[in-house]
């Protein structure tokens, strides 16, 4: 009976007409229109701000690598140093074995 949204809206409109009078309805809808406009304006501004932040984010990550990337680079450096030291050790072993 009163389960649908249209039934509730009709009851609200009838209550507004009875309690506020018919002359207040245009003012009510005018205020409602302004509120919807402000909501859309705020939503658009927040979306623009979010997209601007997303565009700036990759540029800032390129300037300073992430900790994982720094760690991976350090591991590669250490592995190359280990390989060089192993090569030098093998040369020393061959040199002392002569």
What is the number of structural domains in the chain? 2
Three-state SS annotation for the chain: CCCCHHHHHHHHHHHHHHHHCHHHHHHHHHHHHHHHHHHHHHHHHHHHHHHHHHHHHHHHHHHCCCHHHHHHHHHHHHHHHHHHHHHHHHHHHHHHCC
- Are 70 and 41 part of one and the same domain? no
pTM for this entry = 0.41
- Domain of 51, in residue numbers: 1-64
In this prediction, residue 97 carries a pLDDT of 62
- Are 56 and 70 part of one and the same domain? no
- Are 14 and 40 part of one and the same domain? yes
For 11-35, what is each residue's pLDDT tens digit?
A: 888 887 788 777 777 887 888 899 9
Instruction: Tell me the pLDDT band of 8, cut-offs 50, 70 and 90.
Output: confident
In this prediction, residue 44 carries a pLDDT of 93
For 30-74, what is each residue's pLDDT tens digit?
A: 888 999 999 999 999 999 998 888 888 765 555 667 888 888 899
């Amino acid at each position: 009976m009163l389960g649908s949204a249209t039934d509730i809206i009709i009851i609200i409109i009838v209550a507004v007409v009875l309690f506020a009078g018919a002359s207040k309805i245009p003012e009510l809808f005018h205020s409602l229109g302004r509120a919807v406009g402000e909501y859309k304006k705020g939503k658009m501004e927040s979306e623009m701000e979010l997209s601007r932040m997303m565009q700036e984010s990759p540029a800032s990550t390129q300037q300073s690598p992430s900790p994982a990337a720094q760690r991976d680079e350090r591991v590669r450096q250490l592995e190359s140093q280990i390989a060089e030291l192993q090569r030098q050790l093998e040369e020393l072993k061959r040199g002392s074995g002569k």
